[in-house]
Amino acid sequence: ATPNPWWSNAVVYQIYPRSFQDTNGDGFGDLKGITSRLDYLADLGVDVLWLSPVYKSPQDDNGYDISDYQDIDPLFGTLEDMDELLAEAHKRGLKIVMDLVVNHTSDEHAWFEASKDKNDPHADWYWWRPAKPGHEPGTPGAEPNEWGGTFGGSAWEYSPERGEYYLHTFSKKQPDLNWENPAVRRAVYDMMNWWMDRGVDGFRMDVITLISKHVDANGELPGVAGSLSDDLPVGEEGYSSPWPFSMDGPRLDEFLAEMRREVFEGREGFLTVGEAQGVTPERNEHITDPDNGELDMLFLFDHIGIDQPAGKWDMTELELHKLKRSMVQQQKSVAQRGWSSLFFNNHDQPRSVSRWGDDSNEEMRVASAKALAMLLHLHRGTPYIYQGEELGMTNAHFASLDQYRDLESLNAFDQRVNKAKIQDAASMMCALAKASRDNSRTPMQWDASEYAGFTMPDAAVEPWISVNPNHAEINAAAEFDDPDSVYGFYKKLIAMRHNDSVVAAGSFHLLDEEDAYVYSFTRTLDATTLLVVINVSSRMSCIPSQTAAALDKVSAEDIVLTGTNAEAIIRQIQSGTLMPWSAF
Ligand code: TEU
Ligand code: CA
């Protein structure tokens, strides 16, 4: 295992280009907009920028449906704009990681068009299955297959041109690629090398743990031969999830090791991070163990799902002991080998300051944003900041359905309220307000002007999605020079990770595991011990015993980073209590 690779004390910043900065007044963010904001990102101190997809795409799933991997969609600009962004970022010591979406393509990709002809070399590049028109795939006479796509409806779409159904784990415009076919893998590796040779510094790999499907000896998908409903739980909409058949399949390690050899061997200074829903911390250790030559790190989701035990649209309150348990499990599983990513936010998740913090008033919003940031960034692993998180940006709090843009949100409303009739409009509007992906996709809040500086104040068109009205108070211009702002706090956390090796390399140990409000842990490296104490709640909390014992040895000089001032912290310690969202 290579000791301490460069990314073990790096911080990654995720940009959702569509909502980051518009420079041509069309209401959509673009590549020139990212380039225009590189000095802000360099000031924040991050090391790597991960861009959500900017490739040619019909934009059915906001670019996660790619129709040409080697060209930029005009919505975002041109390949020359991409080259300029790479050059300008590298000048500032910033690396650029692209989003690799190769579990599926767009149905408008040339490969898929060609695949509709059974005699074309691309015929076997996707998961085609025969069936009578109007019936889902299945052997004649047996029950049709009931798999449902993630964004609603069946996971199978009929193509009249080919006279067969194709599989799509996501939307019907996102057909799954057949990774069993070596020609598919070759084409993906060639494309990846083309981008790496162009100067890209690595990839975030979209649902990469779905590329190996659990197929039987003759390549048959389980359940296609009959009704799936008795194999897998059928969703309330009458469909069962196809994910179990496609998650962490038998050839995943083989494919990832092959990709590493074919694309990254001989290269240096790159980063690979795989999105890995449903993958366990134990599997994380294997996949990220450098000796296995697969991926540098994964995004695991067990800590993200703790408030969605009954599904995405039934979000519950945060139960801190569940967060402790899953974070500690992730830390333990890579204590010897392998690595962790650290994230609470991304373009698919609601914003953590609203979800797990308290955005009900300015004071609690700032305090809880800082507390959650400290909690995450002082664990062992590579932290990921999602655009606007460093400002304490909140959920959208949309008032009407017509403000929503995400096909997942709109399809879920239609399927649950109108089709399956399992909940009424009012409760679904509440579920969307709490859990929808639109929450994290409102325009970046640069200043207090009409469109938050995301697009020109006199722009001919509105931004593609509503700007959050609270941009009047929450924006980069208001926070940039204020050391006590959320932005100022993120800068201190990032600087601490760069300057104090106990943050990147220290071993992790949780204190007071069962306490329902206080999250405290130590990081130890040689003779240095860092004690982190956070009151993860809007109520005053008593300091639990193990934490109190550790605090006995702490004096004011020892306190290096707090969400408030050290004197206030010392007073709290002396009183044996912690103020709401107190963090140090
Ligand atoms: O996300 C995969 C994924 O699991 C999420 O879509 C999640 O299942 C869904 O949001 C449930 O809340 C990746 C991308 O991050 C996402 O934006 C894409 O929509 C998806 O893959 C398909 O490419
Ligand atoms: Ca634009």
- Tell which wins on pLDDT, 567 or 111: 111
- Pick the ligand that lies closest to the CA of residue 29: 2
What DSSP string describes 177-221?
Answer: B-TTSHHHHHHHHHHHHHHHHTT--EEEETTGGGSS----TTSPP
pLDDT of residue 299: 98
**Whole-number pLDDT of residue 217:** 75
Token pair of 12, please? 């990654």
Q: Is the CB of 408 under 6 A from ligand 1?
A: yes
Q: Which residue has the higher pLDDT, 231 or 431?
A: 431
Can you give the pLDDT at residue 327?
97
According to the model, what pLDDT value does residue 155 have?
A: 87
Nearest atom within ligand 1 for CA of residue 312:
12
Catalytic residue among 65, 146, 176, 275: 275
342 lines ligand 1 (CB under 6 A): no
What is the distance, to the nearest Å, from the Cα of residue 354 to the centroid of all Cα atoms in its chain? 17
Ligand sitting nearest the alpha carbon of 454: 2
CA distance 503 to 529: 10
Q: Tally Cβ neighbours within 10 Å of residue 71.
A: 14
Q: How far is the CA of 271 from the centre of ligand 2 (A)?
A: 28
* pLDDT above 70: residue 237: no
pLDDT of residue 558: 93
Model confidence at 226, pLDDT cuts 50, 70, 90, reads very low
Q: Strand order in 382-386's β-sheet?
A: 297-299, 271-275, 202-205, 95-100, 48-51, 12-15, 382-386, 341-342
pLDDT at 239 over 80: no
Q: Which ligand has the minimum distance to the alpha carbon of residue 301?
A: 1
CB 240, CB 148: distance < 8 Å: yes
The answer on pLDDT for 241 being more than 90 is: no
Residue 101 CA, closest ligand 1 atom number: 23
pLDDT band at 228 (very low <50, low <70, confident <90, very high): very low
Do residues 484 and 364 touch, judged by C-beta distance below 8 A? no
Q: Which amino acid residue places its CA nearest to atom 2 of ligand 1? A: 207
Catalytic annotation on 515? no
Q: 176 CB less than 6 Å from ligand 1?
A: no
Quick check: CB of 101 below 6 Å from ligand 1? yes
pLDDT digits (tens, 9 = 90+) for 79-111: 999 999 999 999 999 999 999 999 999 999 999
What confidence category does residue 232 fall into, taking pLDDT thresholds of 50, 70 and 90? very low
Is 305 close to ligand 1, i.e. is its CB under 6 Å away?
A: no
Measured in Å, residue 207 CA sits from the centre of ligand 1 at 7
User: Which among 206, 358, 406, 512 is annotated as catalytic?
Assistant: 206
Half-sphere exposure of 323 (CA within 13 A, CB side): 23
Reply yes or no on whether the pLDDT at 384 is more than 80: yes
Task: Report CA torsion sign: 148, 150, 156, 160.
Answer: positive
Could you tell me if the CB of 99 is within 6 A of ligand 1?
no
Q: Which atom of ligand 1 is nearest to the CA of 347?
A: 17
Answer whether 390's CB lies under 8 Å from 478's CB: no
Ligand 1 center to 408 CA (angstroms): 9
Query: Average pLDDT over the chain, rounded to whole?
Result: 93
Least confident range from 217-221, 433-437, 563-567: namely 217-221
User: What pLDDT, on a 0 to 100 scale, did the predictor assign at position 154?
Assistant: 82
pLDDT band at 141 (very low <50, low <70, confident <90, very high): low
Q: How do residues 352-369 score in pLDDT, each as one tens digit?
A: 999 999 999 999 999 999
ipTM greater than 0.95: yes
**pLDDT band at residue 144 under the 50/70/90 scheme:** low
User: What is d(CA 566, CA 533) in angstroms, rounded to the nearest whole number?
Assistant: 13
Res 1: pLDDT = 41
235 pLDDT band, cuts 50/70/90, is: low
- How many C-beta neighbours within 10 Å does residue 557 have? 7
pLDDT at 518: 98
CB-hemisphere CA count at 13 Å for 556? 9
pLDDT of residue 133: 55
206 catalytic, yes or no?
yes
Q: Which atom of ligand 1 is nearest to the CA of 435?
A: 12
Least confident of 1-5, 8-12, 15-19, 150-154: 1-5
> What is the structure's pLDDT at 502?
97
Confidence of residue 149 (pLDDT cuts 50, 70, 90): confident
pLDDT bin (cut points 50, 70, 90) of residue 77 is: very high
Q: Which of 171, 174, 206 for a ligand 1 pocket mutation test, highest count of atoms within 8 Å of Cβ? A: 206
pLDDT of residue 564: 87
| pTM of the predicted model as reported, rounded to 2 decimal places | 0.96
